[in-house]
Amino acid sequence: MSPQGVPHGRLLLLDSASLYFRAFFGIPKTLTAPDGTAVNALRGILDFTSSLTTQYSPEAVVACWDDDWRPQWRVDLLDTYKTQRLDAAGEEADTTDGLLGPQVPLIAEAFGLLGIPVVGAADAEADDVIGTLAEAWDGPVDVVTGDRDLFQLVDDARDIRVLYVAKGVSKHDVVDNDWIRAKYGIDAADYVDFAVMRGDPSDGLPGVAGIGDKTGAVLLEEFGDLDGIAAAARDESSSIKPRVRQSLLDSGDYIAAARKVVAVRRDVCELPDLSGTPDTEAFTAFGERWGLGGVTERALKARDLP
């Protein structure tokens, strides 16, 4: 940690579930521990973290956790929120043949042995933890995720970026405001309103009928934000086309709720103790037990970087 009064170096915030799901589906399930337990997600997320730590040399790394992947308060606002991820019993559907679940506590244990705090918060998703820690950190921040909703955190003035791994960790995009403007024609500060209008079926967000990326960007450019767009929709003399105007008027309740659902919270936890160091002996034994091979050495080496 930086001495009091001295600006911090870079903080690397891991969207842990995003990364371990990516590792699980991107790395062969045939990678197993000596006892036959699948360890592809464990090995993958440790390699991802080692690679990014080596590349960006952060002062500190935090593994941000989904203590609640579908908080009830978000469901109360929008009952379709993440419903497509539920099974018939109303629980989170398992798309991993039961092979990922046993690895999740191992991933948390591995981070702990490496001196990387695992931080979650009651009634909050990892996104909310990330938003809170990025807000609290007095220094530059890199958010590692495959979730574009976290683009809303990008802030060039504070040097908050997203390392977007949708194309893979080795081919990740460094997302700043210029990247977002080139991609979508909006600023990062407008991303929540943009996402609300566009919708996202994977999160159960229906969006506003007839509004996609292009129309959403045009509306934000002309009217500023969803409040300005809503006011324009109520004005028949505005430039909004009749079909889009009616969709906006019909979607008023959805828009009001979805803005709260999409916006990440900034008040769910405190900064953890970031002074931890690896327990080399314990992590080496952990690596041997779970058949991590060269991942063990790479992870320890990355944590030893200045």
111: domain CATH number? 3.40.50.1010
List the structure tokens of 171.
């081919």
Task: Give domain status of residue 18, yes or no.
Answer: yes
pLDDT at 8: 84
Task: Give domain status of residue 153, yes or no.
Answer: yes
List the structure tokens of 297.
């050495």
- Both 82 and 144 in one domain: the answer is yes
Structural domain range at position 89: 11-180+265-292
Task: Give domain status of residue 300, yes or no.
Answer: no
Task: Give domain status of residue 4, yes or no.
Answer: no
- Both 149 and 88 in one domain: the answer is yes
- Both 33 and 109 in one domain: the answer is yes
**Rounded CA separation 233/227 (Å):** 10
- Both 124 and 226 in one domain: the answer is no
Task: Give domain status of residue 1, yes or no.
Answer: no
- Both 49 and 140 in one domain: the answer is yes
Give the full edge-to-edge strand order of the sheet including 11-15. 118-119, 60-64, 11-15, 141-145, 160-164, 173-175
Q: Which residue has the tokens 């999409």?
A: 262
- Both 174 and 74 in one domain: the answer is yes
- Both 157 and 223 in one domain: the answer is no
- According to DSSP, residue 142 is labeled E
Contact of 133 with 139, CB cutoff 8 Å:
no
Q: What is the pLDDT of residues 170-190, one digit of tens each?
A: 999 999 999 999 999 999 999
Residue-level pLDDT, tens digit, the chain, 306 residues: 454 555 689 999 999 999 999 999 999 999 999 999 999 999 999 999 999 999 999 999 999 999 999 999 999 999 999 999 999 888 999 999 999 999 999 999 999 999 999 999 999 999 999 999 999 999 999 999 999 999 999 999 999 999 999 999 999 999 999 999 999 999 999 999 999 999 999 999 999 999 999 999 999 999 999 999 999 999 999 999 999 999 999 999 999 999 999 999 999 999 999 999 999 999 999 999 999 999 999 999 999 865
214: domain CATH number? 1.10.150.20
Q: What is the pLDDT of residues 218-252, one digit of tens each?
A: 999 999 999 999 999 999 999 999 999 999 999 99
- Both 248 and 269 in one domain: the answer is no
- Both 220 and 272 in one domain: the answer is no
Contact of 114 with 282, CB cutoff 8 Å:
no
Task: Give domain status of residue 119, yes or no.
Answer: yes
- Both 206 and 230 in one domain: the answer is yes
**Rounded CA separation 145/14 (Å):** 7
- The secondary element (H helix, E strand) that includes residue 101 is none
- Both 122 and 239 in one domain: the answer is no
Residues in the chain: 306
- Both 272 and 123 in one domain: the answer is yes
What is the Cα 224 distance to its own chain's centre?
26
* Number of domains, the chain: 2
Percent of the chain at pLDDT > 70 equals 97
Task: Give domain status of residue 105, yes or no.
Answer: yes
Please name the amino acid found at residue 175.
V
Closest listed residue to residue 43, CA positions, set 19, 64, 59, 70: 19
- The secondary element (H helix, E strand) that includes residue 296 is helix 294-303
Task: Give domain status of residue 6, yes or no.
Answer: no
